Structure 1
């Protein structure tokens, strides 16, 4: 596949404008000629596309006009936590007229025949009502590895930066964190726009891409990390701390409960949903093509309706994954932290989702 930088931006906008059509974002990326007339083309200029990405133009699509279902504000029951987040439009920018959405996390996990999981901590939560369907060590703060990049994406989206701005990767982006580094197909000097860096970070979990997003944030890395922690406090993620944007540092910690809040929030950002669940993408850097696959086998295999996904791994964290999915018409959040192997993580997720798909809706 041969995509230019310009065609990438066109595909990105097309994915938002036609999100209710039969052509998925991934199909548009993989096959740009998959439109009804054989061509996935847009009449928008590059300037208009950039304005749309940064929230300065309103989409005329039905999906952008239809606000997500609002939750009814109710008194917080004993043993639960009330979290207030903001509804986001498809391009990650909150419409001025949108009221805050209240998410209730209700600790009512009392279902029988619960599956056992290998992971150190696990959570399955009804994403609409906040009902906890399954819990294991949900309040324990643990290293979260590259699950960190979900917050990296939220902070990047909130900043409303120029998504078509070109970023040149520097050696500092490959320096790692806490004495750790990881293999990467990227190289010092590679040029990519901010949207591509975000796609690299979410889909392929490229650490240099996430580091570059933090470096090019207004105020640099320190300001970016401060924004990550401020967002966590705003969302009520009281067990969460961030020290950098990639997840290589084991001092990036959170609880399964906190990550349930983060995933519920991040699922309101169209770019994060689309980029994190792209199964495969060929990045054309002009001088070489990087064929890239999603790090989550459940996304690559396509057997589940997964709306948002992010995996993570460092030695201290074990194998982690967070997902927003739909199970038997119920929106759900799945969090797994500290599984022993990638296969154990996949098996845990499959067991939990299969089990949750059979549950009645009690609230």
Structure 2
């Protein structure tokens, strides 16, 4: 098991080094005395987890004043050599989508394309309706874990209760009760492969347990101004987890400020070594797997009540953008809607 953890951290450190300009990740996960990648530290303190989860955000975090002027907020500071972090900033949404002509046709129940820097809504369809969001829920699960500054190397053993499902639905999974992983691996399982037992275990092992975790999810939603959002559990299996496309635009903008959430949600594939068996796993978003778009954050979702859903933070024509699709009829339709919206937005002129 120890070797699998070292392999996990080695892959994490390598992928982050390749994808991020900041060196703070490398300083955390690589043994400082080794001077080379591959000697991964397995004992993260809460301060190290904080830095790992929130590094390299200064280039992404934007705050918009009521007058619409954007300013970059630097969230990483240092006091006596110890990094500290301000709360993530929320983009104030300004709907100007009616001013754009020749908008694409979208079959999903609701859709949103938003400039992630200015909060300007470029495309809007039914964006204020509170709808079931399925496993898009796991994005808030990840934010709550990130905010808690928990020990990411702590071992979590899956229990039968983690497979009990929610909202009357069973939790289908390739995982088994008794499987053990660290908290970082559980978060990767939840974000990349959308494993429900992993998300359930993250809530169960949260300080104060599941009820405290759900309270934290709803408190975070209120703090961010997600007025149509309500959570009852951490996986998304329960259709009473609801949000509007507008609210999810806020959530995606917020989640994109966490380095680990960006990295884990856009990992195309990963082979989980559980010590006695290997789980070869792929990202649930075909657009991430295929690699044709510059996607910085991704989460898909599906239950019958929600239809096929996806949220993404991407870069289109040098413009950071948020894309939300809720209630598509099939996975192919969801991908086609997202592709049409991103292709259209890529051709829009950037307003000065």
Task: Compute the TM-score of the two structures, normalised by the length of structure 1.
Answer: 0.84
Q: Could you tell me whether the CA contact under 8 Å between 1:217 and 1:223 is conserved in 2? A: yes
Aligned length: 334
Could you say if the C-alpha distance between residues 85 and 155 of structure 1 is closer, same or farther in structure 2, counting changes exceeding 3 Å?
farther
Q: After TM superposition, which residue ranges in structure 1, 4 or more long, deviate above 2 angstroms?
A: 9-21, 44-47, 49-53, 55-59, 66-77, 82-89, 94-102
- Within the alignment, does 1:103 sit opposite 2:88 as a pair? no
Listed one character per residue, the Cα deviations across residues 324-355 of structure 1 (whole Å, up to 9, x for unaligned) are 00001000000000000000000000000000
Which residue of the partner structure matches residue 276 of structure 2?
A: 287
- SS of equivalent to 2:288: helix
Which residue of the partner structure matches residue 302 of structure 2?
A: 313
Supply the distance in 2 between the matched residues of 1:11 and 1:351 (Cα, whole angstroms). Answer: 33
- Within the alignment, does 1:41 sit opposite 2:32 as a pair? no
Which of 47, 51, 54 aligns to 2:49? It is 54
Q: Could you tell me whether the CA contact under 8 Å between 1:76 and 1:104 is conserved in 2? A: no
Listed one character per residue, the Cα deviations across residues 183-216 of structure 1 (whole Å, up to 9, x for unaligned) are 2100010001100000000000000000000000
Q: Could you tell me whether the CA contact under 8 Å between 1:86 and 1:99 is conserved in 2? A: no
Q: Could you tell me whether the CA contact under 8 Å between 1:203 and 1:279 is conserved in 2? A: yes
- SS of equivalent to 1:96: strand
Could you say if the C-alpha distance between residues 161 and 76 of structure 1 is closer, same or farther in structure 2, counting changes exceeding 3 Å?
same
Which residue of the partner structure matches residue 32 of structure 1?
A: none
Supply the distance in 1 between the matched residues of 2:339 and 2:53 (Cα, whole angstroms). Answer: 38
Supply the distance in 1 between the matched residues of 2:52 and 2:334 (Cα, whole angstroms). Answer: 41
- Within the alignment, does 1:75 sit opposite 2:66 as a pair? yes
Could you say if the C-alpha distance between residues 100 and 85 of structure 1 is closer, same or farther in structure 2, counting changes exceeding 3 Å?
farther
Q: Could you tell me whether the CA contact under 8 Å between 2:53 and 2:261 is conserved in 1? A: no
Could you say if the C-alpha distance between residues 188 and 58 of structure 1 is closer, same or farther in structure 2, counting changes exceeding 3 Å?
closer
Quote how far apart the aligned CAs of 1:162 are: 0.7
Supply the distance in 1 between the matched residues of 2:3 and 2:193 (Cα, whole angstroms). Answer: 18
Which residue of the partner structure matches residue 31 of structure 2?
A: none
Could you say if the C-alpha distance between residues 224 and 97 of structure 1 is closer, same or farther in structure 2, counting changes exceeding 3 Å?
closer
- Within the alignment, does 1:113 sit opposite 2:110 as a pair? no
Q: Could you tell me whether the CA contact under 8 Å between 1:122 and 1:134 is conserved in 2? A: yes
- Within the alignment, does 1:141 sit opposite 2:138 as a pair? no
Task: Compute the TM-score of the two structures, normalised by the length of structure 2.
Answer: 0.87
Which residue of the partner structure matches residue 192 of structure 1?
A: 181
- SS of equivalent to 2:280: strand
